[in-house]
Structure 1
Amino acid sequence: MTLRAQNPRLAVTLIVTATAFIAGTMLLAKTLGTDVLGPPLHPLQVSHGRFLFAFIAIGTAASILRPKIKQPRLRLHIGRTVFGWAGVSLMFAAAANMRLSDATAISFLNPVFAMILAIPLLGERVGPWRWFAAFAAMIGAIVLLRPGASSFQLAGLLALGAALMMGMELIFLKKLADSEPAFQVLLINNGIGLAIATAAVLPVWVIPTAPQWAALAGIGVLMATAQTCFVNAVARADASFITPFSYITLIFATLYDAIIFGERPDHISMIGALLIVGGAVLLAWRETRTRT
């Protein structure tokens, strides 16, 4: 498999495009979890739509491109997908019940949880700077949750759970990244995810309205496109270079929320988001330093 030529400008364009699409999936999940397009859908049905239409999109691409498939490490794929599905479902539930900007900011804790989980699961050592970054990000999450205040965000606990699940997913991805092609990982992930989501949605599934079907399809296609953009961005620039640009998702989420739902972050949300993003960026920078 030949390596693509390094192209940092294109990589940045791709990752920013991916962030816009990811924020778009959050926006659509919020509309489906409210009564904007019809009776609210259960988060499990929203996540089912995400995997269904993403698998259709990626499966169609696979039938055209016919990529070579290596022997997959199924246990790792299943573990990664279980946690990924749980994270997505919790994230969609959180998005329906709180500001998109707050839910998105809390989701950025996933690399912090991945760092902490990597200590017992991967035997990694964590230095003082990385602990400081994790501490700053966790303080930001506490600020966003507003404990003890009348504005305490119970839905924020769902976003926190989503970040924990996605942090665990990153542990499995670390083990898969160096052994299997990215397209194969995406295809298998969405295939297994569809099977899990289908089994989970059966007790709560209802017939969506026509606009809800369109939104479910939009979530799947946007997510598949975002994943494709991300994979191609990583192929054209170092992950350490493009990772900070992924936090632009927060800007798009805030913008979408303001335009569609008229919700704007207050000063507490801004402080919490800055702490989380700052801690995550510092953590990404230290990851780079420890590998060079």
Structure 2
Amino acid sequence: MTRNDTRLGIWLMVTTTFIFSMQDGLSRHLAETYNVWMVVMIRYWFFAAFVIAIARRQAGSVRAAARSAQPLLQAFRSTLLALEIMVMVLAFVFLGLVESHAVFACYPLLIGALSGPVLGESMGWRRWLATGIGFLGVIIVLQPSGGVFSPYAAIPLLAALMFALYGLLNRYVARKDDAATSFFWTGTVGAIVSTAIGAWFWETMTGSDWILMAMLCVTGALGHYTLIKTYEVAEAGAVQPFAYLQLVFASALGLVVFGETLRPNVVIGAAIIVAAGLFTFWRERKARSA
């Protein structure tokens, strides 16, 4: 049962972004110490168990939750998310949290740009202009310090593109499947895909790092739980802009814990990206209400 409590929804979204930021920090540390593929695999094992438990509670049984009118599409979008997570964690290792999240913040702009070919939605000239300005912000973020663009800069941009397509496919599958079904496929297929990759890269972990891995798994499940609760108590339009706080929290973690630097062009570019994203979101909300 849903209710409309905007203030509670905002606080839940802020909490969710903080939890996901801590998850990103743990992912970066563990992926630097071991490898990306194994870390994501173990994380997905716990996530799959969490998803199955939620599905049994919401749908009544695992079989009911797995029943889909579009299984191939569900499998594809779930695989896409698992691969996107691996790409993004790889970006944390090579670029750090600050610059990775600054570039990744453009994914709402990519959703708008791809909504036409994927969903058949139209986008006005104002939103196209905002999208263009947002990508100018991406270029500013990626401004090379030595005169040559690092190939690593493409990693978070690829992750943003993959996540944008995943977000659009979420809208598409929602036309025939409910949220419980999509959530079930996300966790179970993601666990299968990540295991098929990560099992080849197993490394022995120390006891203390297993504790950090357990914290990573818990934050992943907790973050998804608070996100579910966020959309249960408030409208998406009221809370979605606060999702950009993950950029702030993750950047602060990168600066304080990992000793990353905050270049002026990253601040300016990220500000442009966020402003363009908020404008695009506002225009989409206004168009839908009209």
TM-score (norm 1): 0.90
Match in the other structure for 1:11: 9
Match in the other structure for 2:28: 30
Q: What is the CA distance between 1:203 and its match in structure 2?
A: 2.5
| 2:189 is the alignment partner of 1:192 | yes
The 1:213–1:177 alpha-carbon spacing in structure 2 relative to 1, beyond 3 Å, is farther
Which residues in structure 2 correspond to 1:1-292 (within 5 Å)? 3-34=1-32, 40-62=33-55, 65=57, 67-68=59-60, 69-70=64-65, 71-72=67-68, 73-147=70-144, 149-150=146-147, 152-292=149-289
Q: What is the CA distance between 1:177 and its match in structure 2?
A: 3.2
Report if the CA contact (8 A) 2:119-2:172 is conserved: no
The 1:263–1:148 alpha-carbon spacing in structure 2 relative to 1, beyond 3 Å, is closer
Report if the CA contact (8 A) 2:98-2:260 is conserved: no
Partner SS for 2:59: coil
CA distance in 2, matches of 1:83, 1:90: 10
Between structures 1 and 2, the one with greater helix share? 2
Q: What is the CA distance between 1:246 and its match in structure 2?
A: 0.4
CA distance in 2, matches of 1:283, 1:47: 32
**For structure 1, which segment, 129-138 or 189-198, has the greater mean C-alpha deviation from structure 2 after superposition?**
129-138
CA distance in 1, matches of 2:126, 2:266: 25
Partner SS for 1:265: coil
Unaligned runs of 5+ in 2: none
Q: Which amino acid aligns with 1:33?
A: A
Q: Note the alpha carbon deviations across 1:202-245, whole angstroms, 9 max, x for none.
A: 32222222233333332232122212211221122221111110
The 1:259–1:210 alpha-carbon spacing in structure 2 relative to 1, beyond 3 Å, is same
CA distance in 2, matches of 1:209, 1:113: 40
Report if the CA contact (8 A) 2:105-2:247 is conserved: no
The 1:132–1:12 alpha-carbon spacing in structure 2 relative to 1, beyond 3 Å, is same
CA distance in 2, matches of 1:236, 1:153: 43
Report if the CA contact (8 A) 1:254-1:264 is conserved: no
Partner SS for 1:124: coil
Q: What is the CA distance between 1:147 and its match in structure 2?
A: 4.1
Report if the CA contact (8 A) 2:52-2:184 is conserved: yes
CA distance in 1, matches of 2:58, 2:79: 26
Q: What is the CA distance between 1:14 and its match in structure 2?
A: 0.9
Report if the CA contact (8 A) 2:137-2:270 is conserved: yes
Q: What is the CA distance between 1:120 and its match in structure 2?
A: 1.6
Q: Which amino acid aligns with 2:37?
A: L
CA distance in 2, matches of 1:229, 1:176: 22
CA distance in 2, matches of 1:140, 1:49: 35
Unaligned runs of 5+ in 1: 35-39
Q: Note the alpha carbon deviations across 1:161-190, whole angstroms, 9 max, x for none.
A: 100111110121002335444344223211
CA distance in 2, matches of 1:183, 1:221: 20
Partner SS for 1:149: coil
Match in the other structure for 1:37: none
TM-score (norm 2): 0.90
Identity of aligned residues (%): 24
